[in-house]
Structure 1
Amino acid sequence: MTQNHTFSLLSYIRRDKANKDSLAPVYLRITLDGKRAEISTKTFVDPLKWNAAKGRLKSAFQDSKRLNQTIETFEHRAREVYNRLIEKGKILSADDIKDELLGSVHKQRTLVLSFSEYLAEMEARVTIDFSIGTIKNWRVTLGHLKEFLVKKYSRPDIAFKELDENFLREFDSYARRNWGCGTNAVIKHIQRIRKIVTKAISKNWLDKDPFIAFATTAEKTHRTFLTPIELDAIEKKIFELDRLEKVKDIFIFSCYTGLAYVDVEKLTTDNLVVGIDSKKWIYTFREKTNEKSNIPLLPKALQIIEKYKNDSQSSNRGKLLPVISNIKTNAYLKEIADVCGIKKNLTFHMARHTFATTITLTNGVPIETVSNMLGHSKITTTQIYAKVLENKVSVDMDILERKLSRL
């Protein structure tokens, strides 16, 4: 038997709950058979612009249309819940509608909120499961995502159910045009977004992958390194400016150890140990991969450590070397390159490439040993360096030519 109910909705503002900007929250009053239940729409408006009779903002003001649509959408959801419960014969009270409405609202999970929640989980496990560098990269992606949504969609967040292939295409285009991202940088940002979407699918917030048709191909990266002549030019240059001299020395230290900037920056005297050969080594773990990286120190690296053992800048911070910020380091390296006549785009990471190529592989150090010192988790990563060594290719071919000539 069908029951007859009296049902009505009223949107109104709560002036007593106005926020610090004097904006009042809009509430929805659900009345069923004379009983009321109230629920916040999470929308705030200027009380002076509110039309109480219509339960809407006055149309003459900016943003009125957008805010009124939000309120109307909320009311529409409430009516849908009421009709659905009526059809199922489950309706009992206004509170039942409120509870069901809250449930349906909560199911409207959004991308930025979920991304932020996952990032918070990562931050809670920093140095345990995630490196500081990884956290930083995720923060950058989140910042870019927020900017993109505001600029392209005029909103701070987007529901998972609204995502589609075109969303990523627009993000890809925006990233290249506005942030100067290359293909590989864009792919990294998109991979992080897709990870959040995959989690949404696993939690049944989404039925299927909205990005399944979107595909990108990473560009091959080129490992640029210094030749022996270029490295020698930097080593022999003495700078009168203390800031340039220190950056030069730390760069050279990395050229002879293969350590990345973040790994050099965190070194302390505790990382300086005597190895099984009774010589000094650096024992550390890579920040990026947490892979072990044990490096026997070559004479030039030892000289630099000795040079700065009493340096106040490093000793006051408990560090092995006086490393400044990555941004300033790379800026000063541009000056050093100009003075030394280096035409390449000199960055700190080039020191790591130089260690792998000019210092070790070119001089016959086995690739397995180089891979171990670099802290690579896979030897295929180290093999990338071997591929760019034209000098080694030439030597190998000479050996082959001599062998063939004896046949």
Structure 2
Amino acid sequence: MKKECSTTYNTFAVLFYINRQKVKKNGLCPLMGRISINTEVAQFSTKMEVQPELWDAKKYRLTGKSRIAKEVNVKIDRLEEEIHRHYREILDEQGYITAELVKNAVNGVGQYKRKLLELYREYMEEYAKRVGINRAYGTLKAHKASYKTLQKFIHDCYGAEDIPLKQLDYAFIEKYDNFLRTDMGYSIATVEGYIIKLKTMTRTALAQGTIRYNPFASFIPEKALRKHRHLTMDELQKLMHTPVPNGFLCLVRDMFIFSTFTGISYIDMCNLNTSNLSKDGKGNLWIKFKRQKTKSECAIRLLDIPRRILEKYEGERTSDRLFNMPCRSALTNNMPKLAKLCGIERRLTYHMARHNFGTLITLSQGVPLETVCQMMGHKNMRTTQIYSRLTHQKVDEDVKKLTQRIGNKFRMPEWNKDRENIKNIHYGTGNHYNQ
């Protein structure tokens, strides 16, 4: 029988029918289902076939007491119960319902996750499949850390294993933001990163239609002040000229210096091979490669210092790789040791080499911003502007150049001639305007 139920907002009906236009060779017709919610209709296949002469179009069941008729009718009953169950669950969890949502739930094809952590797990599973193709493992690792923190928040603050996506509202975000700052004691930058990842989940839920509005629409998080670090010229000189007796530490220093004079990131240093080297007609050596992060083309002419480092380690190669790069953890552990040995009294990280290139090696030496953008493999110059913060040395040099350029172009009137005019000014009376 056709069953209908209505709420204040929805009219819901389920019925079954056979498609007499598609009679199979065995004389059976496919059994179809139709879900109606308000004015929306969604049709689906029940994956069952029935004898058309036994079908009762009024009762939506097979007639007779044969074994086949009884089995098919039981399956229809169960399917109808399942449809009504999905209807109630979706309406309870999401606060709204569509015929398409119920159809997807019944078919199990394209069925969307309706809980936050459940959706996050699915997101990470799909992300993991793309690691090494167009996604980075480091970002996946960050998502895993974010997931664990979000899981702890839901458990501690809501006493639940998971929450329906419909509860992902402004109040939830604000409470989570406060939890990260107070309970977890995270820095502003860490909080911002976790909030951004939660925002990714809301965009996913919006795209699949699980939620209908963006809970971040009116949420303005506190943003961390971006401090893009680079060494001073004195610190770079200390790093380059301090004797380093330890062989491995010397390798770490040389790789850092190579990146400082080329702007090449750690992962791209690992990927460099002999095919990336080329010489132009004047004998200049170039490194040309595609960045793993952005897939942008980079072309960098090697200065004398990186050329000498390249020659130094040429005999150490065990493959076509230009360098036997240490693993990231080894770099992380040894950069502080290198800083201490060279008398650099602040935290030293490998990524600072890229900031050194953007600031000390290029912009501070008058290299145009668009050229730096191309060499660093940025897709737009906004990113380059963030990396390449001007130093006081650059400002001082530019002002000196400005002084030289305009020094003879502009002159003040001679002081003696001006003196008489100054004497004639009666301050505060306004009489000088009428002379």
Normalising by the residue count of structure 2, what TM-score does the alignment of the two structures yield? Answer: 0.65
User: What are the within-5 Å matches in structure 2 for residues 7-406 of structure 1?
Assistant: 93=77, 95-102=79-86, 104-105=88-89, 109-177=114-182, 181-275=186-280, 277-311=282-316, 315=318, 319-406=321-408
Q: Secondary structure at the match of 2:315?
A: coil
| Structure 1 pair 195–255 and aligned structure 2 pair: CA distance change class (3 A) | same
Per-residue displacement from partner, 1:258-307 (whole Å, max 9, x unpaired)? 11122212222232333464432222222222222221112221222222
Q: Residue 7 of structure 1 aligns with which residue? A: none
Contiguous gaps of at least 5 residues in structure 1:
4-88
SS in structure 2 of the partner of residue 315 of structure 1: coil
Give the counterpart letter for 1:350 in structure 2. M
User: Corresponding residue for 1:84?
Assistant: none
The higher radius of gyration belongs to 2
Amino acid at match of 2:326: I
For residue 117 of structure 1, report the CA deviation from its aligned partner.
1.9
Q: Which residue is equivalent to 2:35?
A: none
Query: By how many angstroms is 1:345 displaced?
Result: 1.7
Alpha-carbon distance change, 272 to 392 in structure 1, aligned in 2, over 3 angstroms: same
- The percentage of counterpart residues that share the same residue type is 30
Cα contact 2:339–2:345 (8 A) shared by 1: yes
Deviation, structure 1 residue 218:
2.5
Q: Which moved more, 1:280-289 or 1:328-337?
A: 280-289
Q: Distance in 1 between matches of 2:332 and 2:184?
A: 19
SS in 1 for 2:80: helix
Contact (CA 8 Å) 1:134, 1:288: kept in 2 or not?
Answer: no
Q: How many residues align?
A: 319
The 3 A distance-change label for structure 1 pair 109 and 278 is same
User: In 2, distance between residues paired with 1:199 and 1:113?
Assistant: 12
Q: Is the 8 A contact 1:262 1:287 kept in 2?
A: yes
Deviation per residue, 1:105-158 (Å, 9 max, x gap)? 457701122122223333333444434444443344334333433444344422
TM-score (norm 1): 0.69
Name the SS for the 2:123 alignment partner: helix
- Displacement of 1:385: 4.7
Change in CA separation of 1:224 and 1:402 when aligned onto 2, cut-off 3 Å:
same
Give structure 2 stretches of 5+ with no counterpart.
Answer: 4-58, 61-75, 90-104, 106-111, 411-435
SS in 2 for 1:324: coil
Separation (CA, whole Å) in 2 of partners of 1:161 and 1:243: 54
Whichever residue aligns with residue 356 of structure 2, its letter is T
* Contact 1:294–1:373 (Cα < 8 Å) also in 2: yes
**Distance in 2, Cα, partners of 1:176 & 1:303:** 48
SS at match of 1:310: helix
- The AA in structure 1 aligned to 2:318 is S
Root-mean-square deviation over aligned CA pairs: 3.1
Alignment CA distance shift 1:141-1:361 (3 Å): same
Give the 3 Å change call, closer, same or farther, for CA 194–280 of structure 1 in structure 2: same
Q: Residues 180 and 191 of structure 2 are in contact (CA less than 8 Å); yes or no, is this contact kept in structure 1?
A: yes
Aligned amino acid, residue 356 of structure 1: G
Higher relative contact order (CA 8 A, sep 6+): 1
Q: Deviations over 1:174-204 (max 9, x none)?
A: 3345666432332232222222212212322
User: C-alpha distance in 2, partners of 1:275/1:269?
Assistant: 15
Name whichever of 193-202 and 373-382 sits farther off: 193-202
Question: d(CA) in 1 for partners of 2:321 and 2:242?
Answer: 25
Q: Which amino acid aligns with 1:125?
A: R
Going from structure 1 to structure 2, the CA distance change for 1:292 and 1:232 (only over 3 Å counts) comes to same
- SS, match of residue 283 in structure 1: strand
**Stretch deviating more after TM superposition (354-363 or 189-198):** 189-198
Give the whole-Å Cα distance in 2 for the aligned partners of 1:258 and 1:372. 11
CA distance in 2, matches of 1:291, 1:404: 40
The one-letter code sitting in structure 1 at the alignment partner of 2:276 is N
Over residues 53-112 of structure 1, what are the superposed CA-to-partner deviations in whole Å (9 max), with x where a residue is unaligned? xxxxxxxxxxxxxxxxxxxxxxxxxxxxxxxxxxxx99x946522332145445770112
Give a deviation string over 1:315-364, Cα, whole Å, max 9, x none: 26x53222222233122111111111112321111111111111122222
Cα distance 1:257–1:403, how it changes in 2: closer, same or farther (>3 A)?
closer
